[in-house]
């Protein structure tokens, strides 16, 4: 069935193993678990740097976990996103060197975190609860309760963070949050269009999502809530990314009402190029957070 195939490709979890280990990077850390308000148990690493500032990193969806993306198990599609594994612990290492602690965790239905109240990936709507839980976890942690917080939000992690700002008021009330980096914002509609699928195939997938899985991803998605983001935000986007719509990215930037900056990268024509770039280019990432976090 075409509809089920498209739906499985876009929202079926189970392709996101935790394949890396902070020990390989000589990082001091602890395994942590915490719960979202709806009871979903989330698992992650709290990587120890300074006690006065913490970066909460959230990852992209379906094929990613806290530690990044592995080609293993992806079959013929293994090079579609990027040409090698993507290791998010690379940025954890340089952030620790710069004095930050880092919380890296698996969103619901990913890695070894629990199954959500819906067992499907919702491109940020349900996952926003995990962002809220991560902020609460750091805000109440005995070691970090006085720390400032920054978001390093990647793709669906960015969607979830934006939804959290707009659909709940917890983040806007939290004065500890000082800055965000949004990496390649992407709505579901533009993603499926960019894949070049015929309209009848996209429609079949959308119908299957709604009728069989009770998930409706059509419409403006998180764009409605960009105006509610209340911290300085840097957007990073590969101009050659084949899986998005640049007008949508520019609209996201335009709708921000805070201090903001748009960083365009000229990288290989693969979406994963920017995700890989983050781990190898600390200057801009650390510089943005240093500008707003003391």
Residue 14's pLDDT band, with cuts at 50, 70 and 90, is confident
d(CA 231, CA 37): 23
- Mean of pLDDT over the chain: 93
Percent of the chain with pLDDT over 90: 77
Report the run of H or E that residue 204 belongs to, with start and end.
helix 199-213
DSSP E strands in 14-52: the ranges are 29-35, 41-47
Residue 234 · residue 177 · CB < 8 Å: no
State residue 200's pLDDT score: 82
pTM, 2 dp: 0.96
Backbone conformation region of residue 130, classed left if phi is above 0, alpha if psi is from -120 to 50, else beta: alpha
Q: Kindly list the domain boundaries of the chain, sorted by start residue.
A: 2-292
pLDDT at 1 > cutoff 80: no
**What is the domain class of 2-292 according to CATH?**
alpha beta
Residue 31's pLDDT band, with cuts at 50, 70 and 90, is very high
Backbone conformation region of residue 23, classed left if phi is above 0, alpha if psi is from -120 to 50, else beta: alpha
State residue 32's pLDDT score: 98
pLDDT at 75 > cutoff 80: no
For the stretch 152-162, pLDDT in tens is: 999 999 999 99
Residue 55 · residue 100 · CB < 8 Å: yes
Average pLDDT of the segment spanning 135-147: 95
Report the run of H or E that residue 74 belongs to, with start and end.
none
Average pLDDT of the segment spanning 273-284: 98
Residue 105 · residue 134 · CB < 8 Å: yes
For the stretch 172-192, pLDDT in tens is: 999 999 999 999 999 988 888
Residue 105 · residue 136 · CB < 8 Å: no
Percent of the chain with pLDDT over 70: 99
State residue 192's pLDDT score: 81
């Amino acid at each position: 069935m075409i509809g089920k195939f498209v739906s499985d490709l876009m929202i079926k979890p189970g392709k996101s193993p935790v394949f890396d280990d902070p020990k390989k990077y000589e990082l001091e850390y602890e395994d942590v678990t915490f719960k979202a308000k709806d009871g979903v148990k989330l698992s992650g690493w709290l990587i120890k740097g300074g006690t006065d500032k913490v970066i909460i990193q959230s990852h992209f969806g379906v094929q990613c976990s806290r530690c990044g993306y592995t080609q293993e198990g992806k079959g013929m599609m293994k090079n579609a996103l990027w040409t090698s594994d993507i290791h998010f612990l690379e940025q954890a290492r340089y952030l620790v060197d710069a004095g930050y602690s880092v919380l890296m965790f698996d969103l619901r239905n990913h890695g070894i975190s629990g199954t959500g109240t819906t067992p499907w990936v919702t491109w940020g709507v349900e996952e926003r609860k995990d962002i809220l839980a991560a902020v609460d976890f750091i805000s109440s942690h005995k070691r970090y309760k006085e720390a400032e917080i920054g978001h390093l939000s990647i793709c669906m992690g960015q969607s979830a963070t934006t939804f959290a700002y707009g659909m709940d008021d917890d983040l806007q009330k939290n004065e500890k949050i000082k800055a965000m980096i949004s990496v390649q914002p992407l709505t579901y509609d533009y993603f499926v269009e960019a894949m070049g699928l015929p309209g009848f195939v996209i429609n079949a997938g959308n119908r299957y999502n709604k009728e069989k899985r009770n998930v409706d991803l059509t419409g403006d998605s998180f764009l409605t809530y960009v105006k509610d983001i209340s911290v300085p935000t840097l957007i990073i986007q590969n101009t050659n990314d084949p899986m998005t719509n640049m007008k949508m990215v520019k609209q996201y930037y335009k709708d921000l009402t805070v201090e903001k900056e748009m960083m365009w990268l000229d990288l290989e024509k693969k979406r994963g190029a920017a995700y890989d770039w983050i781990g190898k280019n600390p200057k801009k990432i650390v510089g943005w957070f240093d500008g707003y976090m003391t």
